[in-house]
Structure 1
Amino acid sequence: MKFITNRTIIIKSILAALLILCIKNFVFKNLSFYGQDFHDLIELSDITIIFTGAFFVFGLLLAATMSDFKESERIPGEVASNLEAIKDWIYLALRAPRTGTSDLCKEELNQPFLRDQLLLITDGIISWIYSKEKDSNVIFPLLRNSNEIAYYFAERGVDKEAIKGIQENTNAMRKQLTRAYSISRNNFIKPAYILLKSILFIVMSLLLITKFKSNPADYFVTAAVTFLFCYLYLLIRGLDDPFDVSNDEIDVDLKPIDRFRQRLGNDFLV
């Protein structure tokens, strides 16, 4: 099952190529237009310029989506690094001397509370990334829990460097998740998708009525061009939302955050 889910694009493209071949050979070869067979209406040499232009447009749009995807690949690692840094600042706060004379400054820091807070933040971020909606009303209030840790330390005279470090890493993480939210929610402009679909329809239509010199050339060129264009279209659609984890084949690698969560559960203030 995993073999299929990790290769959905290539399977869909192969099925599309086979479908076009079947339509051309079992439907269009039995139809005629004023005595001219439907599958021989156009010479291949007449439409090569269309294929060249179509590949050029697909290449431009693929490059545009790839730039966002490459940026998205860095976000999980950066978020995990900021969470790791917050964990280290908490360790510093537990070990560094404290200042202040209030009763709160004299009491022991609540380690179970700190552990629960960081686990809550981490689990919330992971759940948000794995969610389909990517609701901003969930993630941004969750990030404020990091500042709650900073406020907790400030009230108890904890080292100011630890408080500053937690706030700086929280702000950096907020920027990263805001970028992830923007990439996930703001899909490629709609007219671009209309253009892609139009090109795909035109190319498939031309292949159905194009004349080839031999049957092997007919089968190979029709299947190959159909496969390539369908693959490119599905690839662009997948790259447009790299945080869509329902698409196992084209999404960013979330292992850095998952691995951090495992380490956090095993060693943080246990």
Structure 2
Amino acid sequence: MKSTKQIWQKWSVAVKVLPLMVVVATLKLLSHKFGLEVMELNALFSSLVAGTIFLIGFLISGVLSDYKESEKIPSELTASMRVMLDDAYTIWKSKNSETARQFIEFEKIFMNLLMNWFYKKERTKSLLEKLGRMNDFFAELDKEGIQPAYIIKMKNEQNNIRKLIMRIDTIRDTDFIGSAYAIVEAMGVLTGFGLIVIKIEPFYASLFFTLLVTFLISYMVFLIIDLDNPFDYSAKGEGGTEVSLKPLRDLEIVFSEFELN
């Protein structure tokens, strides 16, 4: 099952392109049959294809830089959550602090809310308000005389979690240069149309190159759109081009098995 899932993730974009390839092949066959191939291959059309490839390269470089940054976020969130868990456990173990015990239970609830938020089952505003409730525990720990270093460290991790949540929210709600998408999509359509009405002999060579160029351009456009939102779990789950939530899933297991003896 794991192997099948990996294969699907690898070829999912190609599968999306297949219906388009069928449409283009059908149009090319009809164009050839009814004598609608009215253009000749020339340098101007080759420049159009080259320009389309250049714009795709520009888009993919910008989207990939954001994607590589996004890959780090789940691990950073996991590290911050784990640090607060360890500190709260240390305080509870050394001081037998009731507030620290309650904070650990609160963290378990927050962890579930965080995972639901990734799937858009929880609103960002609600999650941030829940995160802000940690301040009540920090105030109680201060009243209990817990060392300020612990509280300051936990406050820093809270702030880091807040920044990461807001960063994810911005990434998944913001498209990368929408006007650039528009021009690439328009040029892709024009290139596909040109290939359909251009006459190249022999016909099967023309059909092959039409499908090949159409496949490459459409595949890259679909890939860029997928990469532009690496946190789209509500639509596709944790697969395809989405950033892996494995570090957070592993921490979720730690929380579920964590017991205060």
Asked if Structure 1 and Structure 2 have the same fold, meaning a TM-score greater than 0.5 normalized by the shorter chain, the answer is yes
The 1-side partners of 2:165 and 2:149 are apart by 24
Cα shift at 1:91: 1.7
TM-score scaled to structure 2, two decimals?
0.89
The 1-side partners of 2:9 and 2:83 are apart by 35
Cα shift at 1:148: 2.8
Q: Structure 2: 5+ residue runs without aligned partners?
A: none
SS in 2 for 1:7: helix
- What are the residue-to-residue correspondences of 1:76-115 with 2, within 5 Å? 76-96=74-94, 108-110=97-99, 113-115=102-104
Cα shift at 1:268: 4.5
Structure 1 residues 92-121: Cα deviation after superposition (integer angstroms, max 9, x where no partner): 212345xxxxxxxxx851565233201111
SS in 2 for 1:200: helix
The 2-side partners of 1:268 and 1:69 are apart by 36
Cα shift at 1:6: 6.1
* 1:161 aligned residue: 149
* 2:127 aligned residue: 139
- What amino acid is the match of 2:244? D
Q: Structure 1: 5+ residue runs without aligned partners?
A: 32-36, 98-106
SS in 2 for 1:243: coil
The 1-side partners of 2:83 and 2:9 are apart by 35
1:123 aligns with 2:126: no
State the identity as a percent.
Answer: 22
1:149 aligns with 2:128: no
- Given that 2:110 and 2:130 are in contact with CA atoms closer than 8 Å, whether structure 1 keeps it comes out as yes
Cα shift at 1:153: 1.2
The 2-side partners of 1:194 and 1:46 are apart by 21
Structure 1 residues 206-262: Cα deviation after superposition (integer angstroms, max 9, x where no partner): 111112121331122111111111111111111111110123311111111111010
Question: Structure 1 57/167 Cα, relative in aligned 2: closer, same or farther at 3 Å?
Answer: same
The 1-side partners of 2:216 and 2:260 are apart by 53
- What amino acid is the match of 1:41? M
- What amino acid is the match of 1:8? S
Question: Structure 1 127/173 Cα, relative in aligned 2: closer, same or farther at 3 Å?
Answer: same
* 1:221 aligned residue: 209
Cα shift at 1:8: 2.9
- What amino acid is the match of 2:159? N
1:11 aligned to 12, 15, 24, which one? Answer: 15
* 1:30 aligned residue: 33
The 2-side partners of 1:66 and 1:268 are apart by 41
1:48 aligned to 46, 50, 70, which one? Answer: 46
* 2:65 aligned residue: 67
1:253 aligned to 239, 244, 249, which one? Answer: 244
TM-score scaled to structure 1, two decimals?
0.86
The 1-side partners of 2:42 and 2:62 are apart by 30
- Given that 1:128 and 1:138 are in contact with CA atoms closer than 8 Å, whether structure 2 keeps it comes out as no
Greater share of helix: 2
- Given that 1:44 and 1:211 are in contact with CA atoms closer than 8 Å, whether structure 2 keeps it comes out as no
Cα shift at 1:16: 1.5
The structure with the larger Rg is 1
The 1-side partners of 2:160 and 2:79 are apart by 10
Structure 1 residues 161-220: Cα deviation after superposition (integer angstroms, max 9, x where no partner): 221111010011111111111111111232122112211211111111112121331122
The number of residue pairs the alignment matches comes to: 254
Structure 1 window deviating more from structure 2 (114-123 vs 234-243): it is 114-123
- Given that 2:37 and 2:197 are in contact with CA atoms closer than 8 Å, whether structure 1 keeps it comes out as yes
SS in 2 for 1:38: coil
1:192 aligns with 2:180: yes
1:39 aligns with 2:37: yes
SS in 2 for 1:148: helix
Question: Structure 1 232/73 Cα, relative in aligned 2: closer, same or farther at 3 Å?
Answer: same
- What amino acid is the match of 1:24? K
